[in-house]
Amino acid sequence: MISAGDFRNGVIFVMDDQIYQVVDFQHVKPGKGSAFVRTTYKNLRTGSVVQKTFNPSEKFEQAQLNRRDMSYLYSDGNLYYFMDTESYEQIPINKDMLGEKLNFLKEGMVARVVFWGSEILDIEPPTFVELEVTECEPAVRGDTATTASKNATVETGAVIKVPLFINRGDIIRIDTRTGEYMERA
């Protein structure tokens, strides 16, 4: 059990059969009245963010999440299949749950799958991925001196901004947290 007075950023707790993560908190001790904790928290199932004040003595169950490395195998319609790298168990994950993370997953890549009990809450792709540029405008001589950028499509179908000197066939490194070009690989 965890009390609201122990809330910190990143703490995961269960309230009303829902799982939440503290995004922001503020312990407030007004001049008159009792102290309270102003909290912003995110529902890990739906993604909705809520602000609420709690009495510091309120108790909640602290949730334990499991993270397992799983290899992305293939997609079949709206289902994407991942295999546990230790037990070889295969699980399907709905396309809606993956969202923008699909832009950085290619077959054979290992991602971390976050579980709460047997329920899948999130997918964490590697922080940096190396992908091949499949489409982009050709580089123009003399454009390397500026900080201008152009759109490029990588092998997963994602469109990202890259410097003008990047060409079709180049392997580039991308930060999956921001979706930004980092460097040539």
The full DSSP string for 80-139 is EEEEETTT--EEEEEHHHHGGGGGG--TT-EEEEEEETTEEEEEE--SEEEEEEEEEPPP
The answer to whether residue 139 scores a pLDDT higher than 70 is: no
pLDDT above 80 (res 145): no
Cβ within 8 Å of residue 60, ≥6 positions away: 1, 2, 3, 4, 13, 14, 15
Q: What is the pLDDT of residue 39?
A: 94
pTM: 0.72
pLDDT at position 96: 84
Where does the pLDDT of residue 144 fall: very low under 50, low under 70, confident under 90, or very high at 90 and above? Answer: low
List the domains of the chain with CATH numbers. 2-62 (2.30.30.30), 66-124 (2.40.50.140), 129-184 (2.40.50.140)
HSE-up (13 A, CA, CB side) for residue 154: 25
Q: For 69-88, how does the pLDDT look when each residue is reduced to its tens digit (9 = 90+)?
A: 999 999 888 899 999 988 99
Q: Distance between CA atoms of 70 and 123, rounded to whole angstroms?
A: 10
pLDDT per residue as tens digits for the range 91-136: 998 888 888 888 888 888 999 998 888 888 888 889 999 999 999 8
Would you say 125 and 176 are in contact if contact means Cβ atoms under 8 Å apart? yes
Q: How many residues are listed for the chain in this entry?
A: 185
Given this model, what pLDDT does residue 45 score?
Answer: 86
SS3 143: helix
Edge-to-edge strands of the sheet including 171-175?
159-163, 149-154, 128-136, 171-175, 180-184
Q: Is residue 142 pLDDT above 80, yes or no?
A: no
For residue 143, is pLDDT > 60?
no
Question: Does pLDDT of 140 surpass 80?
Answer: no
More confident of the two residues 40 and 138:
40
Q: Is residue 4 classed as helix, strand or coil in its secondary structure?
A: helix
Q: How far apart are CA 85 and CA 177, in angstroms?
A: 23
Instruction: Express each pLDDT in 14-66 by its tens digit.
Output: 999 899 999 999 998 888 888 999 999 999 888 899 999 999 999 999 988 89
pLDDT-based confidence at 141, cuts 50/70/90?
Answer: low
Average pLDDT over every residue of 172-178: 89
